[in-house]
Amino acid sequence: MDAAAFDYPALLERVARDVAPLTGSGTPAEYIPALASVDPRQFGMAVADLDGNVFGVGDWQVPFSTQSITKVFTLALALAQGGDSLWERVGREPSGNPFNSLVQLEYENGVPRNPFINAGALVVTDRLQTLTGDASSELLDFLRQESGNPDLGFDAEVAASEQENGHRNAAVAHFMASYGNIDNPVPALLEHYFWQCSIEMSCADLARAGRFLARHGLRADGSRLLTRSEAKQINAVMLTCGTYDAAGEFAYRVGLPGKSGVGGGIVAVVPGQCTLAVWSPGLDAQGNSVAGVAALDRFTTLTGLSVF
């Protein structure tokens, strides 16, 4: 369908109206105290098209904690810089388990199911750390460039809060190290992982930053980050694994590759057309934003813009 056929501002207003009864439902992430205090009634949504336009509604310019959404960007950087050998260390299958689960790791010999559960993301960050020597700064620079927002930064309070409550991530990382699947010292790896989760971005920033996935691998400056095939592969893993153990339900309702974070944000991609970002802090039992998933569901239902 032709991009010009859509009146994105009007569509976003309509979606926001339709999901208004849901904003405030669900619960903000409680296991990270710095996130638990966020006002759950906030809602924002943005669309970035491939001509450089960004449209938004509600709290679309309010920065929030991106959390696991950053896992998509570290994956793209690790693949771009290090190539396919990453897939020897992490799989591409949905886990069907919570994002911080340990159980599968033991009977699968320390090789995580996919790059979007915590274990897999730790392997990807480990790879990026080996490739660059400073994984979290590499990620932040990339996000600043792609979003066009030089003010993006880490949230030191969130990073510290994660560190204090990070026993499970530490256990996962040490466990994989015991199988030889982590190359860097675990404490340094965890630090980069927590910093990367703490990056604050708005829906506008995120929609812009994710555009290389809609542009089949081309960056904001026109240079190529990923081959067309790699961009397809990342989108496919987002579709099948991007929303934890609710990926099947997300694909069924939204029909787009998407990646969520426990800050309540979700980024979704319409290849060849646009990138969507939505944020509302109330989460469902699987850790996905209740109003955010509903808004993406409404958007693709109203427009027919999905990969199916």
Binding site for ligand DON (CB under 6 A): 67-68, 99-100, 118, 162, 169, 197, 261-262, 287
161 carries an active-site annotation: no
Instruction: Give me the least distance between CB of 169 and ligand DON, in Å please.
Output: 5
Q: Are 45 and 178 in contact (CB under 8 A)?
A: no
Closest approach, Cβ 145 to ligand DON, in A, equals 23
232 is catalytic: no
The residue of the chain with the least Cβ separation from ligand DON equals 68
* Residue 68 is assigned to a ligand binding site: yes
Annotated binding residue at 106?
no
Q: Which residues contact 62 (CB under 8 A, 6 or more apart)?
A: 42, 44, 202, 279
Q: Which of 101, 193, 267, 278 is catalytic?
A: 193
Cβ atoms of 116 and 181 closer than 8 Å: no
Residue closest to 136 by CA, chosen among 195, 184, 69: 195
> Catalytic residue at 252?
no
Catalytic residue, from 15, 71, 186, 280: name it.
Answer: 71
C-alpha dihedral (292, 296, 298, 303), degrees to nearest 10: 160
Q: Is 97 annotated as a binding residue?
A: no
Catalytic residue among 158, 161, 186, 244: 244
The active-site residue, picked from 65, 68, 95, 147, is 68
Nearer residue to ligand DON within complex by CB, 92 or 219 = 92
Residue with Cβ nearer ligand DON (282 or 287): 287
Residue closer to ligand DON, measured from CB, 18 or 284: 284
Q: Pick between residue 112 and residue 287 the one whose CB is nearest to ligand DON.
A: 287
CA distances from 158 to 10, 38, 129, 259 (A): 35, 12, 21, 20
Helices (H) and strands (E) in the chain, counts: 14, 7
Which tokens belong to 210? 């994710």
Catalytic residue of the set 19, 262, 267, 269? 262
**Counting Cβ atoms within 10 Å, is residue 21 exposed (0-12), middle (13-18) or buried (19+)?**
exposed
* Tokens of residue 103, six digits: 């159980």
Give the shortest CB-166-to-ligand DON separation in angstroms. Answer: 7
Cβ proximity to ligand DON, 58 vs 281, nearer residue:
281
Q: Which residues, 6+ apart, have CB-to-CB distance to 131 below 8 Å?
A: 78, 81, 82
Strands (E), 265-308: 265-270, 274-279
Does 31 appear as a known binding residue? no
Judge whether 108 is annotated as a binding position.
no
Cβ(243)–Cβ(259) below 8 Å:
yes
Reply yes or no on whether 262 is catalytic.
yes
* Residue 251 C-beta: closest distance to ligand DON, Å: 17
The distance of closest approach from Cβ of residue 258 to ligand DON in the complex, given in angstroms and rounded to an integer, is 13
Q: Which DSSP symbol is given to 86? A: G
Annotation marks residue 259 as catalytic? no
Q: Is 118 annotated as a binding residue?
A: yes
* Catalytic machinery residues: 68, 71, 193, 244, 262
Binding-site entries for substrate: 68, 118, 162, 169, 193, 244, 262
